[in-house]
Amino acid sequence: MTPNTKGALLMMGSMAAFTLNDTLVKIALQELPLFQLVALRGALAVVLVYLLARSLGALHLNFSRHDKWLVALRSLTELAATFFFLTALKNMPLANVTAILQALPLTVTLGAALVFSEQVGWRRTLAIVVGFIGMVLIVRPGPDGFSIYSVYALIAVASITVRDLVTRRMSADVPSMVVTLATSGSIAIAAAVASVFEWWVPVSAAAGSLVAAAAIFVLMGYLFSVMVMRQGDVGFVAPFRYSSLLWALGLGWVVFDEWPDTVTMLGAALIVGAGLFTLFRERARQGTE
């Protein structure tokens, strides 16, 4: 098996794990309050990540103070993304929320151009514009299609974009497992504090099983996403990120009896097409350097 094939499989595995986690969380939110669920899932995820990091010998803080501040900032942006994404997920179809998240390669490209002054040619600029048109089709800011939870999904995209830009500023000295542990821990602690202001409900065996399975899938998603960066060419592997939309469509249909309407599907197609073109142009640009 070639490194590119391994990378593609790991990327698809990561997207499958994250989407399965989203599905389980959406089901569990029908019974559990948001912060209680995130606190319970976060506590389990922290234990699992800690045990994995210990086994890999990846628990050390031998990196600069600047990187430590970046890890803290990344955790804050992940916290914001988690809250807004899960709130949107609770109130919107799974495929719709996932489709909006497919704009991330476009927003990260735009953010890198604005913040880091990275060169973005007219073709990729046009692709970004097309992608945002697709996002407008999904969000539909009119009286018939607009929902405040669509705005929540957009805020989640913005938060994740900032998170990824911060991550790009980290040096190679920062272990991925330390970043994952810091992120999981901060989310668990923040959710536990916030849950004080909402009523906790008894956790049934079914809900507990859903939360435990979600924690495992989150860990798998994190682990695969770390492993994929060490396999193959990023330009080849990155497009397989869009497999999450296929998982969301299938799970939304089977589990929740949801299927996006034609306008939403058109918007998703524009976003995915623009994102694939952006990745293709990035690969072509690197090939000429």
User: What distance lies between CA 170 and its chain's CA centroid?
Assistant: 19
Averaged over 161-171, what is the pLDDT? 85
* Segments making up each domain of the chain, as ranges: 3-288
pLDDT at 29: 93
| 21-79 residue pLDDT tens | 999 999 999 999 999 999 999 999 899 888 888 887 777 788 888 999 999 999 999 89
pLDDT band at 229 (very low <50, low <70, confident <90, very high): low
Averaged over 220-238, what is the pLDDT? 70
| 230-251 residue pLDDT tens | 566 655 676 777 888 889 999 9
Which has the higher per-residue pLDDT, 156 or 114? 156
Reference 136, options 249, 266, 277, 276; nearest CA is 266
pLDDT at 206: 94
Region of 190 (left: φ > 0; alpha: ψ -120 to 50; beta: rest) is alpha
Among the residue ranges 12-16, 67-71, 283-287, the one predicted with the least confidence is 283-287
Query: pLDDT over 70 for what percent of the chain?
Result: 90
pLDDT at 30: 92
Most confident listed range (172-176, 179-183, 275-279): 179-183
| 88-119 residue pLDDT tens | 999 989 988 988 888 887 888 788 788 877 77
The string of DSSP codes covering the chain is --HHHHHHHHHHHHHHHHHHHHHHHHHHTTTS-HHHHHHHHHHHHHHHHHHHHHHHT-----S-HHHHHHHHHHHHHHHHHHHHHHHHHHHS-HHHHHHHHTTHHHHHHHHHHHHS-----HHHHHHHHHHHHHHHHHH--STTT--HHHHHHHHHHHHHHHHHHHHHHS-TTS-HHHHHHHHHHHHHHHHHHHGGGS------HHHHHHHHHHHHHHHHHHHHHHHHTTSS-HHHHGGGGGHHHHHHHHHHHHHH-----HHHHHHHHHHHHHHHHHHHHHHHHHHH-
Which has the higher per-residue pLDDT, 261 or 230? 261
C-alpha torsion 46→251→83→104, nearest 10:
100
**pLDDT > 70? residue 145:** no
Helix (H) or strand (E) holding 54: helix 34-56
Which has the higher per-residue pLDDT, 132 or 141? 132
Contacts with 268 (C-beta within 8 Å, 6 or more apart), sequence order: 95, 99, 102, 134, 138, 245, 260
Give me the amino acid identity at 108: V
Query: pLDDT over 90 for what percent of the chain?
Result: 34
**pLDDT > 80? residue 122:** no
Look up the pTM and report it.
Answer: 0.81
